Structure 1
Amino acid sequence: MRGWLKYNNGGYLRPAELRLLAGRIQTIVDQHLDALAVAPRPADLMQTVALPVPSLVISEVLGVPFTDRDLYQRLTGELLSLDRTRDQLLAAKAEMKSYLLRLIGIRRVEPDDDLLSGLLQAQSANATLSDDEIAALAQLVLIAGHETTANVIGLAVLLLLLRPSRLWDTVRRRPELVDGVVEETLRYATVLQFGLLRVAREPLTIAGQSIATGERVVLHLPAANRDPARFTDPDHFDVQRPDAARHLSFGHGPHHCIGDQLARIEVRTVLTTMLHRFPDLRLATGPDEVPTHTHRVVHGPARLLVDFTP
């Protein structure tokens, strides 16, 4: 394979691996921006850049052939949909599991420098890790690794291009603001709109509401990320917000997303490179004409038409 990434202890993305991965991500971004530069205009940024970049990255990280992207993107769409029947969701889940189990079988015979191979190596040292568990983890990484990041990229570009402020020009002149753009987009335009379900392990009280042991609690990340008790003027998109990185878009504590730094690198690389290569990038439609996902767990542009001077 690539030879640019190694996994240890179950595949955690560590700083050393991420530094190696950053160069590969830059290459992938450059290739897709080359395609954007020659695409018929107006071009759909989501289909040309925002979706394929993280899809290709997570394919290589996980060990899933990018040539199978139509399959796993279709199944991802099914699994994240809110308007499918129970039988449809179960069918999509079964098809995804079957697909991943087939890849696990291949990697067991032909290991590579990817996460699936690393998990199989961990399995050989710990027989309690089953193929079904590896497939479940791989499904989580595959879906979270491309769908959410793609929407963060699209939302960040959209927010920077909106008038009258057109922050695109400001950030282009001050590239040191890019990290702030990434964090503020994650906070302000929380991608995961569906509440996270938790079960109380003991009695507790939250904001005056008593919760008994065993009761279910739904955590709504968009509300948390715009909590006026936590963020000043939370409904304002401020790329210089000093505490934006304290959002909860990647979770918290033991459930914190292990791919948070990978996502940040991808979004930062896309934005930084686009700001340099497409200084006059602009929306090809009015902001109210940008369609967003409907009946989906995730929030973001379904299509983002842009134009620029070649």
Structure 2
Amino acid sequence: MTTRSIKAIMPAIEQAEGVGARVRRSIGNMNMRNFSPFLMFDHFSSNGKGGFPEHPHLGQETITLMLKGAFAHEDFTGSKGVLRENDLQFMTAGRGTVHSEMPVIHPDGSANVGLQLWVDLPEKLKEVEPRYRDLKEWEVPEVTDQDGKVIVRVISGESLGVKLEKDLAYTPVNYYHYRMKPGSLFKQKVPKDFNFFLYLLQGGTLKLGDRKAKEFDNVFFNADGDTILGEYPESNTKDAEFVLVGGQVLEQPIVQHGPFVATSRDRIIQAFQDYQYARNGFERIKSWNTLISGGVTEDMINNQLGGSLEARAAEKAKYLGRKDEL
């Protein structure tokens, strides 16, 4: 076993993004332009109508994890739905897509909070057709350790003997959602050809070797070992919550302009022209009218988006029923 050393620890500074939303960005800024295969990492929050109205993507994948509340989504391929707490969505932009991501407004005014990660696509897969895969809360296995002091949701990869392998992303990604109580430890095996980072969503001081991370810090690891170790000391007064995410390093150029990602400047120029003239992957713009960019209503949730709580409960019961039969 070789423990990975730390490359850098950087705080995620809050900033405005989209229309009325707030994000803490720790990848895709001046301090960390990218961390192959990762292009951007946002901890977002929105408690009003402000969100992310229709906008394009090309040459990448996005992974969205809802931590609190709900967000509606739709795109010009006809995909649509509602993500609720602990749900995930994996979106492949490929040769081009246009979508909207807008918050569900709650009567008590509470915020919708989540994480969004942008992942580069291998050059040979940048022209694939766009697609969506949703992963509901109940589809993610959860494992406990140290008498319940450590809880891990295994979104992708393997932890504590529990594995989840689904066709979620073209670029290989491991994604773990940890919760730890004071006085606990974690040890995560990691592939040697993956870059890994750890983002502390909440908590006190997390010890990683001789370094310490605090709330809203992103810890970037060097690719020099096969294990990541951490300790959450007894002296902390609240539980810790963090995500540990890794992806296979892509040995290719990254040329990015906003939501368009390619390996050459010429492809970026072509992408802007194709988007402007609705061609070469963006043809569906001509016939698509966004439903949710002006705001999400209860009627939309219950009807066009198919995201009512009743429908969700039925979907969960059906899934768990099938699982029990196996």
Q: TM-score range, shorter-chain basis?
A: under 0.3
Higher relative contact order (CA 8 A, sep 6+): 1
TM-score by length of 1: 0.22
More strand by percentage: 2
More helix by percentage: 1
TM-score by length of 2: 0.21
